Amino acid sequence: MALLKVENLKMYYETMRGHVRAVDDVSFEVRPKESLGLAGESGCGKTSAALSVMRLLPHNGRIVGGSINFDGVDIAKMGSEELRKKIRWKKISMIFQGAMNALHPTYTIGHQIAEAITEHEDVSKREALERAGSLVELVGIERGKIDRYPHELSGGMKQRAVTAMALACNPDLVIADEPTTALDVIVQAQVLKVMKELQSKLDLSWILITHDLSMIAETCTRSAIMYAGKIVESGSVVHIFKEPLHPYTQKLITAFPSVLGPKMELSSISGFPPDLLQPPPGCRFHPRCPHATDICKTKEPALVEKKRDQFVACHLY
Amino acid sequence: MREYLIKRIVISLLVLWIIASLNFVIFQVISPISPEKTIVDPRMTPEVRDSLATLYGLKDPMSVRYLKYIKNMFTWNFGVSFTSLRPVVQEMSTRLPSTVLLLGSSLIGTILVGIPMGILAASRRGSKIDVLAIGGGLFTWGVPTFFIQLLFMLTLCYYASIWFGFQIFPASGISSRPPPTDPLAYMADVAWHLTLPIVTLILAGFGSWALYTRSMLLDALTQDYIVTARAKGLTERTVLYRHAFRSTLPPIATMIALNIPGIISGAMITEWIFTLPGIGRWYLNSMMAADYPVVQSVLFIYAVLMIFANLSADVIYGILDPRIRVGSRR
Amino acid sequence: MASVFSREKRIVYSRKIKGFWEEFSRKKIGLLGLAMVIFYVLIAVFAPLLTPYNPLSTEQVAQSFARPQWITIFPQYSDLPTTEKFPLYWSIEEESELIQSYGTIVVAEYEAENMEIVAVRLAAKFNFTSIPPIEFYFKFTWGGNDIQDLKYAIRIALFTPDGTRYSPMTDIYLMSLEQAGGELVTVQSVNPFFRQRLGFETHKNPAPVIFNQTGEYKFELNIRFQPKSTAASGKVTVKDTECVILGQVHGILGCDHAGVDIWTQLVYGARVSLEIGLLAAVAGASIGILVGVVTGYLGGVVDELMMRVVDILLCLPFLPLLLTLVFLFGKNIFYIVLFIAVFGWQGLSRVIRSQVLSLRETAFVECARASGASKFYVITKHLVPNVLPIAFASLVLAVPSAILFEAALSFLGFGDPRVPTWGKMLHQAFGFGAFTHLAWWWLLPPGIAITTLCLAFVFMGHALDEVVNPRLRRRR
């Protein structure tokens, strides 16, 4: 029984020049205590999909189709007040891209974490701060630092603080959007370590959004690869990495050079990601796909289960 | 915070010194009137003239005169008024309260009206409140304050006395003559006299505050921490006030500092129109009577008031922005 | 080669301007502002065609506080008259050979025959058909030529239709001086001496009493000659006699306390306001751009110093200081514009400076420096053209504040008295009793004019700001 089941989600941005089809018929699911890695290039729609789940879209973003089933309830159709009280942070929380700016500059991090707690639970401020202290300890920050302001913390600490904040109300699902992008490599490793510890200690489900496939390989059990607003391949991480089926996935995996392996020329994918205002007809990857055939240019491939727990959308299969 | 404060206080004193020097330059150096004529007047008694001459070093070389002048300014030795032949400080002390009352209440009133309007406008973009706030802001920019005051005076005082037989608000003075003896009645009387001046000042001034708050708030609402706040499941109200508005408070404090010159000019004109006994009207009358010591002193006092207001704004800013208040305690 | 280059540039510029205009014209409020500004510019340019009067003239065209003429549409004001002028045409009442000419110019020549007092009498009639006026005056020019040993007197009396006599209307008594040329005499009903002469108390208005009926009024001119010797001779001329019943309504906007047309002042005031506003704003903006660009680009000590100076200038209370400077250096419009410009540039310099700071790091500036361009070249060829759009928007917004400054200055009485501005109108209105007379036609027009002109620029500036300011463009 899936915890989160996104089915045929369509989310467009309304702009003066037309509809930008950021999320176009996307389906994936996250099972309890599972971690799903959502991967893809910048602009492929992964953040948009995440924001849609929590309905944190900007003014011009609209969910125009599909369902988002959380624990059996379609939260895409839920009223905003109910969503705010029951789902946001309580059931699903998020760690945003660029944690530096996600924290309010004039409140202490302890206050900001406690704020989330007192909003959803009937506890006193003091108790909430106590819990905030424990939470930051979980992510490896000294308890006393909850009285610090964001500008007094380093980048890595801020990232971990935001992680702690996401866990404040013991949610069932945490969405982490590019949690290590703005950090240097050493700090990245620290944050990853913390996340893996949390995974093992707590009974959460995760959605990890990133363009870094190696991170997904290290931390997730399942993965979904997005391209131009669509899911092109999904399934268990082991299977996808061992035997990537979709041409795009294959290219992605080979694009990351292995430090230990033999020296190779850097391979990249030719071309540019498509314009989501007017995406190419048929399979959206066909302009850049080395195996493209005529049918790829006209008919969109459906996501089918090719092998056990491995789904792919490609006319090759 | 401490270093910040000390730095600001030092700069303020420096600026004050520069302004006193400017005063000196304007009145004693480049003015077409001879320096003595700006300090002493034939109407004064010889003793007074002599004491002033020594105080200001009228017979000393310019460098000595300069130092004495600065010292006098900083010690509130403003000389003697030509028209009343009394010490300027004494005259000022009777008039300063009215001006400070007018300045303070109009500033506070403008903030209390302008800021909430700006917040409402930002939170309801495109609504009637938004249009009103933008309209009010642009209106403020274009309408001369004194015209609004003349209009109000015309209708509520003069036309009112024709239509209703009495003036709804008095057209002049800060209290009736004779003033009521009971202190509460007296305060009420003063309040009644000050209503029109203050209300018109607020009317003329709230617009720019509303506009500024609105644009600052709209900017703040695009920040990432607002998305975080919403994601946390906080109410829109909390997001708007505790998060968005809170982060606009420091720039708003700066806005106070920038607004002060306008408020001082506005108060001066107001005192003139409504014949209020403040230093503004005194200043204007003194210029017409060529009472130089008064003119110099009032100019200096205005500068002092402004610097004080700026300093207060800086202090408030420091309190509101934790980056300054706490610094970095790594 | 050079010409080709500049042709390319021209194409680029014209495209930029077209693009800019497309965006600007999408903002209705900006177009409204522009329309209003054009309206005022037209008024300013065509001022002489819009009014026959000179803005600085003190000629009284109607009674003081005369209402606007169009007010007669309303029933309670329908019978208020405009100014009526009655030039007097003298005809001889008593036949006399001394009268050499009559009509508009009366010449009486005397030659002594004996020591008797001789007098001539002429009369001029006119028909008065309006309601009793509040003010009137009459004037004439008199002169004596070749006067020898002669005393003479000119006496004018007025007869109402029912025969009541008012005399003397003048006080030109026995003269024995040589007088050449003409002396203009104006006798006003508001004059207390005149009132006393006629037997009224100084606070009582003779106009409605004298002209309380319709019908034929008659002026009687009496010239008396008294010889001092038998050789007395002389010629006395009286001409350009006119009786003016001042109207209670006049023109488009009535009159002020001195009976001077208000519409004229308003229309010429547009010229002055626009000139002052634009001049001061442009001057201030030039300084601001210069300072902003130079300090932003050079940085370092120059930058720090300038910013401190700007900080200090921001600490000065503008209006009091401006007033002091005018007070000390004289109420000269040139100084006023200069002072306003000097006070106005700081805000702009800050904006320009931050723009320059961000431009400084751009690639094309670095390229220019790398290829050896001098600082001057970079500043003039690269930085200034790129800051001009923002500077332009700020300039448009600076005009209303310059206009308001000048208006405040004039209102307080510190403006140039030779220049007709709207602020001066309000100053006079406030000081000369517009309130007590409820003369809304004097108070409202200048204020509304200032407001609308300033708002016009504000609307334009607001729209411009949204077009050129990169920060504001990302509006959702």
Element (H, E) at C35: helix C28-45
**Cβ within 8 Å, pair B27-C328:** yes
**Cβ within 8 Å, pair A149-B326:** yes
Contacts of A14 in chain C (CB under 8 A): none
CA C296, CA C365: separation in Å to the nearest integer?
A: 13
Same domain, C143 and C274: no
Which pLDDT value is given to residue C472? 47
Cα-Cα end-to-end distance for chain A: 28
Task: Please determine, for residue C42, whether its predicted confidence score (pLDDT) is greater than 60.
Answer: yes
Compute the nearest-CA separation of B183 from chain C (Å). 32
Classify residue C217: in a domain, yes or no.
yes
Same domain, C434 and C301: yes
Task: Please determine, for residue C474, whether its predicted confidence score (pLDDT) is greater than 50.
Answer: no
**Cβ within 8 Å, pair B269-C408:** yes
Which pLDDT value is given to residue B210? 86
Question: Where do runs of H (alpha helix) occur along A64-210?
Answer: 80-82, 99-102, 109-120, 125-138, 155-166, 185-201
3-state secondary structure of A311: strand
Question: Of C245, C269, C302, at which residue does a domain stop?
Answer: C245
Cα dihedral: B103, B109, B113, B119 (round 10): 70
**B-contacting residues of C 298-327, CB under 8 Å?**
311-312, 314-321, 323-325, 327
**Cβ within 8 Å, pair C316-B146:** no
Same domain, C194 and C312: no
Compute the nearest-CA separation of B213 from chain A (Å). 18
Choose from B150, B156, B311 for mutation: most chain C CBs within 10 A: B150
Same domain, C120 and C172: yes
Question: Of C213, C245, C277, at which residue does a domain stop?
Answer: C245
Cα dihedral: B172, B174, B177, B180 (round 10): 150
Same domain, C181 and C305: no
Element (H, E) at A5: strand A4-15
- Residue range C163-217, pLDDT digits in tens: 888 887 877 766 666 565 678 888 888 888 888 888 888 888 988 899 998 899 9
* CATH code of the domain containing C91: 2.60.120.260
Question: Of C186, C221, C245, at which residue does a domain stop?
Answer: C245
The pTM is what? 0.81
- Location of structure tokens 């940085």: C299
Measuring CA to CA, which residue among C394, C434, C134, C393 is closest to residue C257? C434
Classify residue C384: in a domain, yes or no.
yes
Same domain, C305 and C392: yes
Contacts of C476 in chain A (CB under 8 A): 58-60
Instruction: Specify the amino acid at residue A109.
Output: I
Pick out chain B residues at pLDDT < 50.
none
Which pLDDT value is given to residue C177? 62
Classify residue C10: in a domain, yes or no.
no
Question: Where do runs of H (alpha helix) occur along B124-223?
Answer: 128-142, 145-152, 160-163, 183-220
Same domain, C93 and C52: no
Task: Please determine, for residue C224, whether its predicted confidence score (pLDDT) is greater than 90.
Answer: no
Classify residue C75: in a domain, yes or no.
no
What average pLDDT does this structure show over C296-315?
A: 76
If one counts the domains in chain C, the total is: 2
Per the prediction, chain C carries an average pLDDT of 83
Same domain, C103 and C231: yes
Q: Tell me how far CA of residue C328 lies from CA of A80, A122, B289, C413, in angstroms.
A: 67, 70, 12, 14
- Asked whether the CA dihedral C287, C293, C298, C304 is positive or negative, the reply is positive
Q: Given CB atoms, is A105 within the 8 Å cutoff of chain B? A: yes
Tell which wins on pLDDT, C183 or C275: C275
Task: Please determine, for residue A133, whether its predicted confidence score (pLDDT) is greater than 80.
Answer: yes
The DSSP output letter for C132 is P
Measuring CA to CA, which residue among A136, A116, A134, A137 is closest to residue A125? A116
Pick the most confident of A85-89, A151-155, C36-40, C46-50. Answer: C36-40
Same domain, C221 and C264: no
Contacts of B171 in chain C (CB under 8 A): 435
Same domain, C265 and C149: no
Same domain, C389 and C286: yes
Where in the sequence is the domain holding C227, given as residue range(s)?
84-245
CA A125, CA A117: separation in Å to the nearest integer?
A: 9
Task: Please determine, for residue C427, whether its predicted confidence score (pLDDT) is greater than 90.
Answer: yes
Q: Say what the ipTM of the complex is.
A: 0.85
Question: Beta strand pairing status for A205-210 and A173-177?
Answer: parallel
Weakest mean pLDDT among A153-167, A220-234, C340-354: C340-354
* CATH code of the domain containing C359: 1.10.3720.10
Same domain, C217 and C273: no
- Residue range B310-323, pLDDT digits in tens: 888 888 888 888 88
